[in-house]
């Protein structure tokens, strides 16, 4: 009688699974996705932007300030006071002197507050201060 398990053990080869190339490939893919991913900067609050037919898309913005309809100002996902806008913009411009400032104001926000934020940005040394709007199609 033929013993099947003994025959299998005799014919069994030493199999190895070399995972080093697999790990290398995973790291290469990880690096590829990190390099090609573009990170979107947000103000940290939901804002309903006003619409304008002359709105122009800016590709390079470094400082985003959000002004809500409740009168709060947000920068980098945190709420700041109107008196702290100038200091925060000065700090951001010290890191990137050619940076642009974009004010993302809610369409129901107070105009006086938006003007105060814009004035604080100009006093901080910002050369270009813009107000964000959605383009009307």
Do 26 and 56 lie in one domain? The reply is no
Helix 111-123 vs helix 85-95: crossing angle, to nearest 10: 40
Report whether pLDDT(119) > 90.
yes
Do 69 and 101 lie in one domain? The reply is yes
- pLDDT per residue over 24-48, tens digit each? 999 999 998 888 776 655 566 666 6
Q: Identify the pLDDT of residue 86.
A: 92
Do 27 and 77 lie in one domain? The reply is no
Do 60 and 31 lie in one domain? The reply is no
Q: What is the dihedral of CA 90, 41, 38, 48, to 10 degrees?
A: -140
Least confident of 18-27, 37-46, 96-105: 37-46
- pLDDT per residue over 50-90, tens digit each? 666 666 666 666 788 889 888 899 988 889 999 999 999 99
- Measured CA to CA, the distance from residue 51 to residue 16 in angstroms comes to 63
- Measured CA to CA, the distance from residue 85 to residue 74 in angstroms comes to 9
Q: For the chain, what percent of residues have pLDDT higher than 70?
A: 71
Average pLDDT value for residue range 106-127: 89
Do 100 and 125 lie in one domain? The reply is yes
Do 74 and 110 lie in one domain? The reply is yes
Q: Identify the pLDDT of residue 135.
A: 72
Do 18 and 64 lie in one domain? The reply is no
Question: Cβ–Cβ contacts within 10 Å for residue 128, how many?
Answer: 13
Q: Which residue has the higher pLDDT, 7 or 91?
A: 91
Q: Identify the pLDDT of residue 35.
A: 82
């Amino acid at each position: 009688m033929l013993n099947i398990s003994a025959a299998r053990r005799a014919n069994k080869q030493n199999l190895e699974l070399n995972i080093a190339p697999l790990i290398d490939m995973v790291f290469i893919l990880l690096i590829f996705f990190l390099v090609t991913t573009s990170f979107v900067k947000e103000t940290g609050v939901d804002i309903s932007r006003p619409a304008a037919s002359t709105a122009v898309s800016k590709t390079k913005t470094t400082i985003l300030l959000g002004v809500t309809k409740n009168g709060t100002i947000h920068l980098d996902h945190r709420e700041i006071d109107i008196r702290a806008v100038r200091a925060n913009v000065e700090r951001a411009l010290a890191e990137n002197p050619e940076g642009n400032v974009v004010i993302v104001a809610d369409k129901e926000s107070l105009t006086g507050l938006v003007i105060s934020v814009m004035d604080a940005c100009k006093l901080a040394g910002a050369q270009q201060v813009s107000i964000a709007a959605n383009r009307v199609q």
